[in-house]
Amino acid sequence: MYITITAQKMGGNYSQSSADFVGYLEKENEGLEQPDIEHFFNQYGDEISAEEVVKEIDGNTAKLKKKEPKFYSITVSPSKYELRKLQNNSQDLKTYTRELMKDYVASFNREINGRPISIDDIKYYAKIEHQRTFKGTDFQIKENQPFATKILQLKTDIRNVQEGRAEGNIKKMEKEIAKLERQAPHQQNGKRIVQGMAKDGNQSHIHIIVSRKDASNSVSLSPGSKHKASEVEMHGKKVKRGFDRDAFFAKAEKTFDKTFGYKRNYAETYKAKKTFVKNPNLYFSALMKLPANEKALAFKIISKSGLPIVPSIPVSQAQIALRVFKRLRRGAEVAIKSSSIGI
């Protein structure tokens, strides 16, 4: 499970309207027949139009300044292992989203009129998507880049020869290109993975737009990590503030596991990823202490997705972790080979 919470920006400024973002989320519906279209939904309604989403989100921004975010985007990306537990991707993910948003409100250290925030206090709209493409930030693209650079240069050289600007053996260069295409470390269906290529397999995920203001358009609710749970004095009164992201991410996993009967491996947990960031040695030590089958599964999960590196890990820590990983993984090969787990 990979979850991100971001304040939508257009360049250096926060977007003043949700229209562009909503339009972006509608792209997957282009060319589909009505039964196949994925509509927006919220806690109580289905088949909500894009126009209504824009109207409701943009009309719920009272007293927010230009330099303050008007809405947040939550992206929820279940792993392929988690997706296998679903019977009906769209309906199951809708069910999960509605439970997830209860976890979202429970992670606020805020009160409205002296009571805890409830699901009825937030204004959100969600949409299920089933496609993903490789981006420049994906490790497959990064590790294929040296080959892509050489291929691009060879294609430029061929064009120069064809147009009389240079001399060279075109057939020889074409053979070199074919060789580089095969040698690129990351392939999909026999082709080098390139930016923009559609990813194979089940890619279902959830996009959620949630208003910065509560449903009454009077209270600001920011899931930003700037303020942790605390109390401040405003206008002579003590006011609770803050959003506990750690609690939200942990609850999101437990809710998924409970809803779909999913048995989560240590390598998939948010706790493990945090341990990796803070203490890579402890992370891999914990992996090595797992029972044989769980250890085998953990290393297969890691090998399929790359190291569980999340944004903002210091380079030095990542390098240390990689060295430890290579050393410990050699010791885990026996467990992987002897395991009956098929992934």
CB contact at 8 A, 74 and 42: no
- Read off φ and ψ for residue 289, nearest 5 degrees: -90, -5
Helix axes 315-338, 280-288, angle to 10 degrees: 10
* Confidence (pLDDT) at 226: 56
Residue type, 74: I
Query: To the nearest whole number, what is the mean pLDDT of the chain?
Result: 84
pLDDT at 111 (0 to 100): 84
pTM of the model: 0.77
CA distances in angstroms from 335 to 83, 291, 307, listed in the order given: 25, 9, 19
User: What is the domain partition of the chain in residue ranges?
Assistant: 2-130+202-260, 139-198, 266-338
Closest among 109, 74, 90, 71 to 1, alpha carbons compared: 74
Per-residue pLDDT reduced to its tens digit, 185-213? 999 999 999 999 999 988 899 999 999 99
Domain 2-130+202-260 architecture: 2-Layer Sandwich (3.30)
Q: What is the pLDDT of residue 309?
A: 38
Sequential DSSP letters for 160-214 = HHHTTSS---HHHHHHHHHHHHHHSS-EETTEE--TTPBPPS---EEEEEEESB-
What is the residue-wise DSSP string for 38-90?
PPBB-SS-SSB-HHHHHHHHHT--TT--TTS-SEEEEEEE--HHHHTT-SSHH
Note the pLDDT tens digit of each residue in 146-174: 999 999 999 999 999 999 999 999 999 99
Q: State the greatest distance between any 2 C-alpha atoms of the chain, in Å, as a whole number.
A: 81
Q: Return averaged pLDDT per consecutive 10 residues of the chain, 343 residues in all.
A: 82 78 86 81 93 95 88 92 90 96 92 89 94 89 96 96 94 96 95 93 92 93 69 60 87 95 91 85 86 87 58 47 54 42 35
pLDDT in tens, 35-54: 778 899 999 999 999 999 99
